[in-house]
């Protein structure tokens, strides 16, 4: 049976190695892009003259580019101007650049969804601008932000598969290597790929839904 041969212990371990790289890249990018996205989103919300506009323009440019192009760019183009990452950090950098732009947009929209009276009320009770932001606005905006942030995280996990083009040894890349050696393994490998990605992403969306109903 080819199915049983395809899922030999060696192949499963190779796939799991790939899965580990996928998860590592995804987690690092999530942490970095969340921090950067939050800062950029806040800076845009604060409407600092000129500065916020410039950040807004850069964010708009980045989020309107295909992620694949950014991956190519960080790995193939940046070395030309002397910035060199290895494959792993190229993938993390590309995902972080793209996702932090997406997240900053979500965070800004979330903050904008809080009525402006809240800010005025906070300020008039004697809280400073930053205190009002932190204690009054962000907690309220958080509720509106959770669903889009989760779907962004899910697409980040799916997008790590694109890094296979720069030969990052992640899940998709390793599955391709296995079926490249034996074409009868093609269907089992596609089943495995769909299985792993689906389990992670579906579980994440379900957990988020439960969390949402708890918040509401």
Partner 1 sequence: MLTILTTYPDVLIDGFINTLFSSVIALFFSLIIGTLMAILQLAKNKWISGLANAYVEFFKNIPLLIIVMFFYVVVPLYWFSINGFTAGTIGLTIYTSAFIAETVRAGIMGVPKGQTEAGLSTGLTQNETMRYIVLPQAFKIVIPPLGNQFINLVKNSSVLAMVTGLDLMYQGDLIASETFNTFDTYILIGLIYLIITLPLTYLMSYIERRLNVTS
Please provide the DSSP assignment of 151-188 as one string: HHHHHHHHHGGGGGGGT--SHHHHHHHHHHH-GGGHHH
Q: Which is nearer to partner 1, 5 or 60 (CB)?
A: 60
Footprint of partner 1 on this chain (CB under 8 A)?
A: 60-61, 64-69, 72-73, 76-78, 80-81, 154, 158-159, 161-162, 164-165, 172, 176, 179, 183, 186-187, 190, 193-194, 197-198, 201-202, 205
CA distance 111 to 139: 10
Minimum distance from residue 124 beta carbon to partner 1 (Å): 27
Least CB distance to partner 1 at residue 134 (A) = 28
Q: At what angle do helices 171-181 and 9-45 cross, to 10 degrees?
A: 150
Q: Pick the closer one to partner 1 by CB: 96 or 164.
A: 164
At residue 96, the 3 state secondary structure works out as helix
Q: Which is nearer to partner 1, 42 or 163 (CB)?
A: 163
User: Minimum Å distance from CB 128 to partner 1?
Assistant: 31
Nearer to partner 1, 202 or 211 (CB): 202
Residue 125: Cβ-neighbour burial (10 angstroms; 0-12, 13-18, 19+): exposed
Query: At its nearest, how many Å lie between partner 1 and the CB of residue 6?
Result: 14
Could you count the other beta carbons within 10 Å of the beta carbon of residue 52? 17
Nearer to partner 1, 34 or 185 (CB): 185
């Amino acid at each position: 049976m080819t199915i049983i041969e395809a899922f030999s212990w060696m192949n499963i371990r190779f796939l799991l190695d790939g899965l580990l790289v996928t998860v590592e890249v995804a987690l690092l990018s999530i942490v970095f892009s969340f921090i950067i996205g939050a800062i950029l989103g806040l800076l845009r919300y604060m409407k600092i003259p000129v500065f916020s506009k410039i950040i807004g323009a850069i964010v708009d440019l980045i989020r309107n580019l295909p992620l694949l192009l950014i991956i190519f760019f960080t790995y193939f183009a940046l070395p030309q101007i002397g910035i060199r990452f290895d494959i792993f950090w190229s993938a993390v950098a590309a995902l972080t650049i793209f996702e932090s732009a997406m997240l900053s947009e979500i965070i800004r929209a979330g903050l904008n969804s809080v009525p402006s009276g809240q800010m005025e009320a906070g300020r008039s009770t004697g809280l400073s601008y930053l205190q009002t932001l932190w204690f009054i606005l962000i907690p309220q905006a958080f509720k509106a932000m959770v669903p889009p942030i989760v779907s962004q995280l899910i697409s980040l996990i799916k997008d790590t598969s694109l890094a296979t083009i720069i030969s990052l040894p992640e899940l998709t890349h390793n599955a391709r290597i296995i079926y490249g050696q034996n074409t009868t393994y093609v269907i089992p490998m596609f089943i495995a790929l769909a299985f792993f990605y689906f389990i992670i992403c579906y579980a994440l969306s379900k957990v988020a839904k439960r969390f949402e109903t708890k918040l509401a």
